[in-house]
Amino acid sequence: MERCLSFLSLSSLLLLCTASREDVRLVNGSSPCAGRVEVYHRGEWGTVCDDRWDMSDAGVVCRQLGCGDAVDALGGDHFGPGSGKIWMNEVSCRGSESSLKQCGSPGWGQHLCNHGEDAGVICSGVRLVGGTDLCSGRVEVHHGSSWGTVCDADFDQQDAEVVCRELGCGAPKELRGAAAFGQGEGQVWAEEIQCRGNESQINFCPTAPSQNQPCSHGNDVGLVCSDSIRLVNGGNPCAGRVEVYHRGKWGTVCDRGWDMRDAGVVCRQLGCGDAVDALRDGHFGPGSGRIWMAHVSCSGSESSLKQCGSPGWGKHYCNHGEDAGVICSGVRLVGGTDLCSGRVEVHHGSSWGTVCDADFDQQDAEVVCRELGCGAPKELRGAAAFGQGEGQVWAEEIQCRGNESQINFCPTAPSQNQSCSHGNDVGLVCSGREDVRLVNGGSPCAGRVEVYHRGEWGTVCDYRWDMSDAGVVCRQLGCGDAVDALRDGHFGPGSGRIWMDHVSCSGSESSLKQCGSAGWGKHNCDHGKDAGVICSAHRKVRLVGGTDLCSGRVEVHHGSSWGTVCDADFDQQDAEVVCRELGCGAPKELRRAAAFGQGEGQVWAEEIQCRGNESQINFCPTAPSQNQPCSHGNDVGLVCSGREDVRLVNGGSPCAGRVEVYHRGEWGTVCGDWWDMSDAGVVCRQLGCGDAVDALREGHFGPRSGRIWMGAVYCSGSESSLKQCGSAGWGKHNCDHGKDAGVICSAHRKVRLVGGTDLCSGRVEVHHGTSWGMVCDADFDQQDAEVVCRELGCGAPKELRGAAAFGQGEGQVWAEEIQCRGNESQIYFCPTAPSQNQPCSHGNDVGLMCSVPPPPGA
């Protein structure tokens, strides 16, 4: 296949090329779904170094290519060495990205690798769809570029063994015909799969023309596999040593880096509720055979432990004395308003069952609420108050004493209340998830962080404590966003246990206990390092009734209640302090006469007398008001400019430049150490500037002076604000301004394609000043097209189209001819000259279709 066929004529403006917009490919494998990973950047294909390359990264590649799930993440030149640039190193994907380029890395081309370390991937050529999990469903096989179903008459036990093995799902449990998991779409493949049963992948099985054609989707075959994970030696299926099934063998997991997030994935995968404890040091006895996984790193959102990051299958420096274990909750509450209320269901064997209301009392309720981290019982409800369950009503009476830590440890006896139906399912309401609190800060939304575990309150060590961790605490407590993450016993030293250390939250967790940590009670701290938090709800001022948090009626907190402020007692200096304290920029407008509606409660009888430079309203002097009595008809309102706590400077537009953040009344920079595309992506989205194009370091946009506010920034990519990302702490860094971080966002580009089928086709529009304009087809040629396609990450030109082929634009047709040489990286760098083709109308708007070059030899 030739890369470009020909440029026919200026009159036809036609250029034909082959390929599609793919910026990642797999090379040298047995199929398009296996091979060495290569990425396309700045007009060139390059490889990925295998440092830290793991299943989470491989999974993003497989899904991006439409190749199902990752089977293996390979390194050490498994598919042969590449050549040219090594574009990415130390890739860090969360797993939710749609493209490898969205994952974190030190930066394009930054590495200490050689091609003997090129990363590789094997993706699954088969998937199960429509079942209860990844190990059950309709069998679909990947052919060419699409998925197709298989006729039930063309699939047997040997084929099933290969599919279950390839998916890491153990052994086949059941083959189901006649579209038992629903009818698929697309093609029913006209081939019979003829596996011997010992193949590692379906791709390696012979095939033959089917004797059962025509076969319809009514005959789609389905499969149920046993599973790929189990808990051993714990006394029930929801507790024990963690073992995973890979390449036909069960093996253990090393406990290095093992934490509650990892345990939570295991528990949910097994249908065992939430994790109660993540255990180490061979707590459930040493296993034998292979140690399959080590340094597991789950975000917590994965549906399978295999989707979590790790160094790779069988890569470790562990022994079986370090086998990881898990205890999952053997009880759950279903059908209530939250996880702390609902119908009581207990796990027996491999299924959940309800409990008869006559077999459950106050002591049982105390244990259930404690086990779920939901405080104390508030109310027991009988007669299926939370709806009738399904399955079995267990024929046992639970006889807890009330001091047990788990329902599993309670004695049971045969129930005296047989013939108990789902109409008698017992329900329970607990007081709530009271497993974190803030102490010594003057309000429930500020103070030293304390967590409740195993019946005892303890503190959190501040090592690696950052805004991402603080944000989880604030949201868990209903205290808004984090304002500050504090260290060094800021709110005074606690006493007793230090429960958590090395806390690592992604920011999406609903509870601090779901975040990664060194393990319960494992630390190298003293109480002089207790972590603290200030949440936004701790503030003594708020704006109510506006369109967002930065506009509304001014309300000030006095004692234990909120009150409004008389419009005659509030001026511009007061407004500057309020906007600053709320992180809402500068005042835009003061509004009087209850413009945002009348408040309730007290109108405070004090005049606020800020100078304007205070950081909080609390620090402003007050005096008795001269305007009393003042009614709610005079409540003052305020509109601030907005949440301007990040900006890009010196880049030529608001969407490119040096990253600066606003904190404690001052703008400062971000250290470039660890700065990557994941971090840059958060900045671009926060600013409404699209996706990140590049993450830059080493003061690319020039150094500034003053504070360096953030260092060692680590964003998961899902944050809505840079301040929510992990970091070393405000003002903590080992940088100078020569390392200031920078960003180029997609909205900084001076060119776009509009009106096509995707971002790589459409009418050419170029940005001049503050507006977009079209280009006359007579003023745009092959060299210009090459630059535009390259700048947009869309490969090479495929077709130039004149005469407004993608519709007529609006606004100005620019009176300039673009004169690119073709090697520029951006249209911005191309010379221009006055057009000889004026006047040119929108009927002559030029259009362009781009494509990425095909792999060598295609």
Residues 282-292 have pLDDT tens digits of 999 999 989 99
pLDDT of the residue at 855: 36
pLDDT in tens, 312-327: 788 888 999 999 999 8
d(CA 821, CA 470): 52
Do the Cβ atoms of 299 and 715 come closer than 8 Å? no
Omega cis (within 30) before 834: no
Q: Are 165 and 209 in the same domain?
A: yes
Between 309-323, 653-667, 771-785, the lowest mean confidence (pLDDT) is in 653-667
- For the segment 38-48, the average pLDDT, to the nearest whole number, is 88
Following DSSP, what letter does each residue of 183-201 receive, concatenated? ---S-B-SEEE---S--SS
d(CA 254, CA 281): 9
Q: Are 178 and 271 in the same domain?
A: no
Helix (H) or strand (E) holding 674: none
Omega cis (within 30) before 854: no
Decide if 513 is inside a domain: no
CA of residue 431 relative to chain centroid, distance: 30
- For the segment 179-202, the average pLDDT, to the nearest whole number, is 86
Q: Are 46 and 112 in the same domain?
A: yes
Q: Are 576 and 487 in the same domain?
A: no
Helix (H) or strand (E) holding 751: strand 751-755
Between 321-330, 678-687, 787-796, the lowest mean confidence (pLDDT) is in 787-796
Decide if 545 is inside a domain: no
Residue 423 CB contacts under 8 Å (≥ 6 apart), including other chains: 383, 384, 388
- How far apart are the two ends of the chain, measured CA to CA in Å? 5
CA nearest to 429, candidates 365, 479, 517, 384: 365
Do the Cβ atoms of 371 and 333 come closer than 8 Å? no
CA of residue 307 relative to chain centroid, distance: 13
Following DSSP, what letter does each residue of 6-52 receive, concatenated? EE--TTTT-EEE-----SEEEEESSSTTEEEEEEEETTEEEEEB-TT
* Alpha-carbon separation of residue 443 from 179, 486, 536 (angstroms): 59, 16, 11
Q: Are 39 and 87 in the same domain?
A: yes
Which position has the token pair 């990973």?
Answer: 37
Evaluate if residue 434 carries a pLDDT over 70.
Answer: no
Q: Are 36 and 74 in the same domain?
A: yes
Evaluate if residue 220 carries a pLDDT over 90.
Answer: yes
Decide if 856 is inside a domain: no
For residue 611, count other CB atoms closer than 10 A to its CB. Answer: 12
Evaluate if residue 854 carries a pLDDT over 60.
Answer: no
Give the number of domains in the chain.
Answer: 8
Residue 245's SS3 state is strand
CATH at residue 340: 3.10.250.10
Evaluate if residue 575 carries a pLDDT over 50.
Answer: yes
Decide if 277 is inside a domain: yes
Q: Are 418 and 455 in the same domain?
A: no
pLDDT in tens, 473-518: 988 887 777 878 888 888 989 988 999 998 988 777 878 888 888 8
pLDDT in tens, 726-742: 787 788 888 888 889 99
Q: Are 653 and 710 in the same domain?
A: yes
- For the segment 781-788, the average pLDDT, to the nearest whole number, is 90
- For the segment 744-773, the average pLDDT, to the nearest whole number, is 78
pLDDT of the residue at 643: 60
d(CA 579, CA 615): 10
Decide if 19 is inside a domain: no
Decide if 12 is inside a domain: no
CA nearest to 46, candidates 36, 54, 56: 36
Q: Which has more confidence, 539 or 593?
A: 593
- Of 718, 748, 778, which marks where a domain is finished? 748
Decide if 287 is inside a domain: yes
Decide if 762 is inside a domain: yes
Evaluate if residue 9 carries a pLDDT over 70.
Answer: no
CA of residue 274 relative to chain centroid, distance: 20
Q: Are 151 and 174 in the same domain?
A: yes
pLDDT band at residue 20 using 50, 70 and 90 as cut-offs: very low
- Give CA angle at 139 (138, 145), nearest 5°: 120
* Percent of the chain at pLDDT exceeding 90: 20
pLDDT in tens, 805-823: 999 888 888 878 888 888 8
Evaluate if residue 570 carries a pLDDT over 80.
Answer: yes
Question: What are φ and ψ of residue 766, in 5° steps?
Answer: -115, 140
pLDDT in tens, 256-273: 889 888 998 998 888 777
User: Could you tell me the residue range of the domain that residue 297 belongs to?
Assistant: 229-328
Averaged pLDDT score across all residues of the chain: 83
pLDDT of the residue at 560: 61
Residue 150's SS3 state is coil
Q: Are 779 and 844 in the same domain?
A: yes
Q: Which two tokens stand for residue 759?
A: 């971002």
Q: Are 680 and 733 in the same domain?
A: yes
- For the segment 61-77, the average pLDDT, to the nearest whole number, is 81
Do the Cβ atoms of 660 and 729 come closer than 8 Å? no
What is the SS3 assignment for 558-627?
ECCEEEECEHHHCCHHHHHHHHHHCCCCCEEEEECCCCCCCCCCCECCEEECCCCCCCCHHHCCEEECCC
- Of 123, 148, 167, which marks where a domain is finished? 123
pLDDT band at residue 848 using 50, 70 and 90 as cut-offs: very high
CA of residue 261 relative to chain centroid, distance: 14
- Of 620, 640, 660, which marks where a domain is finished? 640
This model's pTM is above 0.75: no
pLDDT band at residue 770 using 50, 70 and 90 as cut-offs: low
pLDDT band at residue 666 using 50, 70 and 90 as cut-offs: confident
What is the SS3 assignment for 408-430?
HHCCEEECCCCCCCHHHECEEEE
Do the Cβ atoms of 525 and 461 come closer than 8 Å? yes
* Percent of the chain at pLDDT exceeding 70: 92
| Maximum mean pLDDT: which of 298-307, 553-562, 605-614 | 605-614
